[in-house]
Structure 1
Amino acid sequence: MTSLSSHRPYPRRRLGGQDLEVSAIGLGCMGMSDFYGPADDAQSLAVLHHALDIGINFLDTADMYGVGANERLLAPLLAARRHEVVLATKFGNVRAPDGAMLRIDGSPAYVKSACDASLQRLGVDHIDLYYQHRVDKSVPIEDTVGAMADLVRAGKVRHLGLSEAGPETLRRAAAVHPIAALQTEYSLWTRDVEAQILPTCRALGIALVPYSPLGRGFLTGAIRSAEALAANDWRRANPRFQGDNLGHNLALADAVSALAQGHGMTPAQLALAWLLAQGDDIVPIPGTRRVQRLDENADAAHRPLNAALLAAVEALLAVQPVAGTRYPAAALANLNL
């Protein structure tokens, strides 16, 4: 069910109306350094090299992941294979050396210093797609994007993106400089972008890059309890993994799994194929630390869903809605701004 046909060229998609072409499915690198329990750098590098080998060229990191460790993890790969990679990283979430969250900073001076620091950790001379990780409510978006545009003019950045930005912010940002992509959570169990954000992106020619497209791993069916996760796994604090929400969401995951298996797919492949079917301007970035899972996820791009299966998914979600918010209460205040 999960074999990847190596003789087929991997599908590509364009981000926004610009000359930024990426693999139809990217690779989110966050979990290789942070938030999801222990990881092994050597194993993660093997996954990264394998991604490029099979045609997954869109790698997503951020300066906050592991407080810089994730960008440093990518450096050896980039030293050897930079020309094969479409590199995305993010700034704006400022953390202390011990990982404590300090602030969100979109000030022009910080934009430029953060970019220089990322370039140094990554060991590259430019970033292909540079995102503001969270919108800074204290700084006009015009000022932040203006500073980001200066980075483009300086040759340090090729394209600009935002993350968790709302419709009005997107419109104001795009008036300053073209925005290639919006990164936000979107999956079978997180669909709030469909009401206003996705239509706004399409009106402005901005692609959507869904993070956590597998529901932070829950939609794979592999997670049955929060207690089974590592003690420092961030998902233990996620409302969807707790209490009565967990039992409700297990029923959703089981229903997705049954539907997928009935059509010769894994639940992860169904979840990713469903996202790809929502439009050619959507490029999900599932994360993994295992080559086998990478192959499984990548193969979803070769599994188009027909109208009947898409309708079956919609019917399933209508009777099995997700329970719980997608972040703890404190973090919700920084989403879709």
Structure 2
Amino acid sequence: MQSCTDLSLFLPFDFISPVIERRSLHKGTMPDLWQDAMDHAVTMARKAGEIVRDALQNDLKIMCKSSSVDLVTKTDQNVEQLIITSVKERFPEHSFIGEESVAAGEPCVLTENPTWIVDPVDGTTNFVHGYPFVAISIGFAVNKMLEFGVVYSCIEDKMYTARKGKGAFCNGQPLQVSDQKEINQSIIATEFGSNRDPDAVEKIFSSMRKILCLPVHGIRGVGSAAINMCLVASGCVEAYYEIGIHCWDVAAAAVIVSEAGGVLMDVEGGPMDLMSRRVLAANNNIIGERLVKEIEAFSAVRDDAPVNPIK
């Protein structure tokens, strides 16, 4: 098992992600078109992390979006505006999908144009309560394909990065998923989310009960989709699944999981659809497909639906 402090070498993989193309077998044959954008994303993530850490020392202005458990703070809005302004200044031709922008009424549409997909504070409820797992998540897509991902777990000071075809890293150390193939020796991550509809809650608990009784070593969750997925990439947990997340929660981490050798799929099997609000990230297909058999799936309003309420 590797962690972000592990110094062992990154191992290649041959999984073809539904949102990440197969890596080139001839590195260096294609121009490095997006490195400047990725470097800028890392810089912005660090600046955003400073804002989040500073805000934790002050009184937070807390607001609600779709319900009393779907929270947003002024810090979320300030961080997103910082990133939007910086991106527009440096890359004026690029598009932007951000959690708070969509909540304010901006369309959530992924086009072929270079697009930044940003969650300014992934784990807002954690942030509000001082629970130390909060991330800035910056994904980047071109031609509707994810190109790179940056996830900064700012309280831990862990910078997760990955570029298509170039591996995944935490603070510069290569990442590799767990090689575990036995479900009864696995740790699975998931979250309850903010959906309090009784039918959805029943299916969430039923899925967890069935998975726990397989049995598995345990079920965990840190309250951040991006960090949960990075823990899969780090080899700390074998899989993470959730229904009700958004594209900005998982876009960046999807690249990190895939480049660390993991797989991405829908909770009912088949390719992951970035806009479906459903994800299963696993260390391999054996673990992923075993979980598919136990998860009681339900639908969520797509992120790219014509009318897109955040709930």
TM-score normalized with structure 1 length = 0.30
Mark the structure with the bigger radius of gyration. Answer: 1
Structure number with the higher strand fraction is: 2
